[in-house]
Structures are given as C-alpha cells and as structure tokens.
Amino acid sequence: MHARISSLTHFLWSTAFCLFFVIFLTIPCLAHSPNEVVTLPEMIVEGKRPIAASSQRIILNEDILLQPQGRPADLLRLAPGLITLEHSGGAGKADQFLLRGFDADHGTDLALHVDGMPINMRSHAHGQGYGDINFIIPETVEEIAVQKGPYHVEYGDYATAGAANYVTRKSVPETVIQAAGGSFNTQRYLFMSSPFQEHFRTLVAGEFYYTDGPYDFVNRNTRYNGLAKLTLEPSAQSELSVTLTQYYGQWNGSGQIPLREVEANRLDRFDSLDPSEGGKSVRSTGRLDYHYDFAGGGTAFANLWAQYYYLSLFTNFTFFLNDPVNGDGIEQTDRRWLTGGDLGYRQSFRLLDREGLITAGLQTRFDKIRVRLGTQRKRDPLAITQESDIFEASYSPYLKLDLQFLPWLKFVGGGRVDVFTYNVDDRCGTSCSIRPDGTASDAIASGKANVIFGPWAHTEFFLNVGTGFHSNDARDVVMNSSATTLPRAIGYELGIRSQPWAWADFLATFWLLDLQSELVFVGDEGTTEPRGKTRRLGTELSARISPVEWLSIRGDITYTDAKFRKTGDSIPLAPEFTAFSSVTTHFPFGLSGTLQMLTVGSRAATEDRSVLLEPFTIFDLILRYKIPVSLPTGRLDAFFSIRNLTDTDWRQAQFLYESRLPGEPTEGVSDIHFVPGTPRMFMGGLTWTLGL
C-alpha cells in the first residue's frame, strides 16, 4: 500500500512540476509591454531540409493526400522498407510493423510519436510497445519524419529499428468537408477548418469511419476521431500551442485462420473460426507545446502531454489447444493514465567562426496502469489469469550537439541516459496462475554520432553510429531477476545521397544492427520468451526522378539478413526483401494520380527455414480531380481509389504455431495461421473546399 501511495504522489508531484515550469515561463511573456512588440512583415524562406542520415525520410502532406483513405498506418509505407500490415482482420487493432529485419509486432522496435508525444505503450496488456495510431486523422498531418536506426538523440525507448513522428498542422487555409464511400459498406466523413487565423491560429477536425470489411461476417469497424488545436503568440518571442484529441473505436476481427482449413476447402479465406474476436479502444490526449526565444540566440522549450487510454481485446489464436471444452479465447484489458514531457534549452553559438547548436533537455514519462489477462468464451469471461497495477516511470536527460566543423564536414550527435523505475502490485491473489509483484529499477546510457561529408557535386556522404534500447515489460522485470530490463542495440550505417540533376535524387544505405540478449514478454500468454543475441545487416536503395514537371517516378528496394549470432539460424518472421515503387502524375487540367506497387518477399517462419511465409505483390491506384464547375463558394474535388488493383489473393500477418480444432490430436497441429489481405476494393468521394 505504501508503494502504491508513493507512486501516486510521485506522479502528481511530477505533473505539478511540469505545469509550474510552463507557467513560470509564460507569465513574463504575457506581462510584456505593448511598446516592446515589433511587427515584422511576413517572409517565406525556402531551403533544403538538413538530414543526419541517408535513410532519413520526410513524408510530405502532398504525398499523404495521394494515398488510399482509411488507415493512418499505411502512410508509413512511403518510407523505404517500412511495411504495415493488419494483424487480426479488423483495422481497429494496432498494426504489425516490419522494418530492418524486425517483425516489430505492434511497435516493440519502432518508436511512434505525434508532435513529439510518445504513442507506444509500455507494459501493455497485449504486447510491449503496442503502438495504435488509429486516433490520427491523416489530413491533419503536415508531415511524417521517419528516422531509422538508433542514431538520433531525441528518441530513446523503442527506437532501435527506427522512429516516426507525425507532425500535425497548426491551421488550414480553407474549410474542408468530405464524404466518401466504397466496397464492403465502407464510409468516411471528414470535417476540417480553422475558424480563427488572425490573432491566433486554430484547427478543428472530425472524422467518422465505418466498414463491414470483406469478411463473411460483419466487421463493423467503427472509428470516431476529433482534434482541436490552438496556437498563439503570448509575446513576439514566444509561441504556445494546445492540442486536444479524442478517439473511440470498436471492431469485430476475423483472427488468424489456419492454412490447413483453407487449403482443404473447409474454410473460406475471409471466414473466421471465432467471429467473437474484436475489441474496443478509447484514447484522449492533451498536448501543450511552448517555446521562448531569448535575444542571445537561446530558446527555452517545454512540450508537455497527458493521455487516457483504454483497450478491451478479445482474441483466440489456438482455438481448442489448451481448453477443449470452452476454447482458448482470451481477454486482455488495459486502462491507464500517462503523462510526461520534454523540457530543455537550445543555444546557438559560434566556435572558431563555425556555427553550432547545443540542446540540453530532460524527457520524462509516467504510466499508471491496470492490466488484466483472462480467459473468455464468445466474450463472456471465464477466469482471470493475471491482474496487476503498474506504475512505471522514466527520466531521460540528454545533450545534443549540431556543429558545422568545415563547409564540407558536419556533426550531429550527443548522448542520453534513461533511468527506469518499476512498481508492480498483484491484484489477483491466489486465484491467479501468474502473480507478478515487486519493484525494480535500471538505467542505460546511449551515445549517438552522425557525420555528414559534402556536398561535393551535389552529393553527400553519411556515417552514423549509435546505441539504443527497448524496454521490457514491468511484470517480467520484477518476476525474473535474470531478465535484461533494457536490452541494448548497437547500430552502424554508411550512406550516400546524390542529386546530380535537379530532377533526380538517388540514395544508397548500408547498415548493421546488433541486439543484446533479452527476454520478451508475451502478453497473450502472460509468460516470457527468451531470445539470444541477434545481428541484422542490410541495404536500402532508393531513386526519385521527375523527367518532366507533371511526372515523378519512385523506386525503393531493401534487403536484410537477420540471424541469431550464436547459432547462425534465421530470425523467424524477419522481413528480408521489400520493394515499393510508384508513378505519380499532376496534369495541368486538374487530374492527379498515383499507381503504386508494394512487394514483401518470402521470409522464414522457423529458425531452420524449413517453412517459408508466402510473398506478395499488390498494386493500388489513386486518382484526384479538381472539378471545373463554378460554385457560389469554394470548389469541388473528386477522388477515387482501387486497392489491390489486380485482386491478388495475399496474406497480411502470417505466423507458424500449434493450434487445435475439434477432432485433431491433443497436442495440436503446427501450421501457418494468417490474416487475409484486402481483396480488390473501390472507394470514392467528394471534397468541398470553402475559403475562410
């Protein structure tokens, strides 16, 4: 009881400190004299965005708008080698992420953020690092910054394979009202507007999405999203932004079906063995971003956030393997409050007549969690396997240096220390088979270095090295004294980026990543799975050409070799070959479109490669047209998309494990279980854009 009170007190004091910090900085700014304000004319400055690694990619808003509607995770496919797949035949659940030889499950090795606010859930009921981004409205996103490898100081937990940050707009120039519909009773409605833009900027957006899905039962995937954002300048030297979001989603899932039943024609690929699978999720978020610019080139900043999160998830992976009477249905519930922030100071300087920037900051995060794992039959609870209260906290001071040593030599890097504390209280007592309880703490230091050479002849060379980590589940940490709490990753990267002509851009990256031995918590079972040391190495090749103003062509190819270092065996499920290509046109008469192709090659289902997962290639076509009609106010745009243009039978998430159906051996049958890929799907609609 004392530990629980102490954790709550710590939580409240930390939140109060963060709020006090912002108020302390804001009050002097609000008290400035009007005579001190100097209004400058608006200026537009264009320049090439600096990058620290050849694999770094910025996904712009114009690229986002030329993507199929409905799933914000699919936008990440625009980054080479980053693949998102539906995990359970219902788009309400977090996606499965494939990147750099990692089947990162729902986000264990991919750090996801929105405006710097972390999305991955620590010690989650379903899986460590669970990253559900269904609460993002794609049209409100200004850009997505994707950074691969553990080379970037601002990212800590989960940023081993990479990190992605969705940056939202501050306002929109026009009001947008959109209605769309298509196959499988799919509907989507969008409203987005900036009612005030003079003394401060605002953004209000709402989204409703519904689909029955292609399954033989009704998917009923329903999503409500809302966003409100206010940005103002308390003084000429400062900016304050407040963002609120609200998400509600529910769905029925097909689950992962056994291949043996489909091949024997006893089960359609879009059918389900347990249509009671599915779930419900809620997420409320609040963000406060503030910065104050001092006269000497310094900037103080405070980025604070808070979230409420809830998930109730019903799944059945093995059917009747463990319980031949009621079946193996499980229920996982996660309810939490979490808060944190990034506080710091940034100072520009000159060293030997060279420009530099140094940033010192502190990132904090506090999760107050209640998680439960139990058994169920058709969503009726049977028994509780595990139920815990968790308070998990982290404190991460960091120092970043950006220095232009010479006109052709730049350094970006620094270091961070991440300190974790864990407090787990068992709520279940003797009635549960798994009863984690206790406290623990650990810390890890990480160093990052990025060196950029050039440009010479419009060509830059990049050398990157860094260490990172992903945290393990608090329940495992307090139960298993031999568990590696914060397994370390060490990465190396060599890259080249060349733009020999204004209309062509080429990139090549060669990388290596070693991951320390670890114990991974399996939320579905409430147990741990040991893993040995691993090594992943690979290459990424990318080209973008625009031979004429209205045409752009893109091609990305990645190859990865992922092995256990001790045995040399393959890492199951690790992606090996991926490719993404697109042809995009922008005609002067108002028509624009994209034809794109995604390929994921065969990959190992077992360490000895005796079973391989099926590869796939799918095509999508997206068209947008500015309708040339005169309206009293605004204009009309039409859009149309065909997903899986060739109607390919393909598999999304694929796994090899034992399951049992009635009449099968008690020990079960080892088989591939998969989620069917979306068949050919049509969707179209209209966008009414009104001037503000």
What ranges do the domains of the chain cover? 2-36+49-682
Mean pLDDT of 215-231: 94
User: How far, in Å, CA of 320 to CA of 664, rounded?
Assistant: 9
Plot region of 542 (φ>0 → left; ψ -120 to 50 → alpha; else → beta)? beta
> How large a percentage of the chain has pLDDT more than 90?
77
Mean pLDDT of 384-390: 96
pLDDT of 352 reads 83
Q: Sign of dihedral through CA atoms 173, 179, 182, 185?
A: positive
Contact by Cβ (8 Å): 464, 52: yes
pLDDT of 9 reads 43
pLDDT of 527 reads 52
pLDDT of 2 reads 41
**pLDDT top residue among 197 and 208:** 208
pLDDT of 130 reads 94
Q: Give the amino acid at 597.
A: M
Is pLDDT of 522 > 60? no
pLDDT of 104 reads 81
Is pLDDT of 562 > 60? yes
- Architecture in CATH for domain 2-36+49-682: Beta Barrel (2.40)
Q: Give the amino acid at 631.
A: L
Name the token pair of 85. Answer: 């797949």
**479-485-490 Cα angle (round to 5):** 155
User: How far, in Å, CA of 130 to CA of 114, rounded?
Assistant: 15
pLDDT of 685 reads 96
458 bridge partner residues: none
pLDDT of 484 reads 83
Tell which residue, 163, 158, 130, has the closest CA to residue 469. 158
Contact by Cβ (8 Å): 423, 391: yes
Chain position carrying tokens 């929105």: 114
374 bridge partner residues: 331, 384
Q: Tell me the CA distances in angstroms from 190 to 137, 179, 181, 206, 682, one per residue in order.
A: 9, 7, 12, 6, 18
Q: Tell me the CA distances in angstroms from 378 to 86, 314, 316, 634, one per residue in order.
A: 22, 9, 10, 50
Tell which residue, 635, 637, 619, 545, has the closest CA to residue 68. 619
DSSP 130: B
pLDDT bucket at 70, cuts 50 / 70 / 90: confident
- The per-residue DSSP string of 156-183 comes to -BT-SSEEEEEEEPS--SEEEEEEEEEG
User: How far, in Å, CA of 161 to CA of 487, rounded?
Assistant: 13
Tell which residue, 615, 603, 618, 587, has the closest CA to residue 681. 618
User: How far, in Å, CA of 262 to CA of 270, rounded?
Assistant: 10
The overall average pLDDT reported for the chain is 89
Q: Sign of dihedral through CA atoms 158, 159, 163, 166?
A: positive
pLDDT of 24 reads 37
Q: Residue 66's CB: how many other CB atoms inside 10 A?
A: 19
Is pLDDT of 31 > 80? no
Contact by Cβ (8 Å): 492, 54: no
pLDDT in tens, 119-158: 999 999 998 999 999 999 999 999 999 999 999 999 999 9
Mean pLDDT of 38-62: 70
pLDDT of 74 reads 86
Tell which residue, 207, 221, 217, 369, has the closest CA to residue 281. 221
**pLDDT top residue among 68 and 679:** 679
- HSE of 208 in the Cβ direction (CA atoms, 13 Å)? 8
Q: Is 262 helix (H, G, I), strand (E, B) or coil?
A: helix
pLDDT bucket at 40, cuts 50 / 70 / 90: very low
DSSP 571: P
pLDDT bucket at 482, cuts 50 / 70 / 90: confident
**Model pTM?**
0.91
User: How far, in Å, CA of 293 to CA of 291, rounded?
Assistant: 7
User: How far, in Å, CA of 65 to CA of 343, rounded?
Assistant: 33
pLDDT of 631 reads 79
b/e 390-428 (16+ beta carbons within 10 angstroms → b): bbbbbbbebebbbbbeeeeebbbbbbbebbbbbbbbbeb
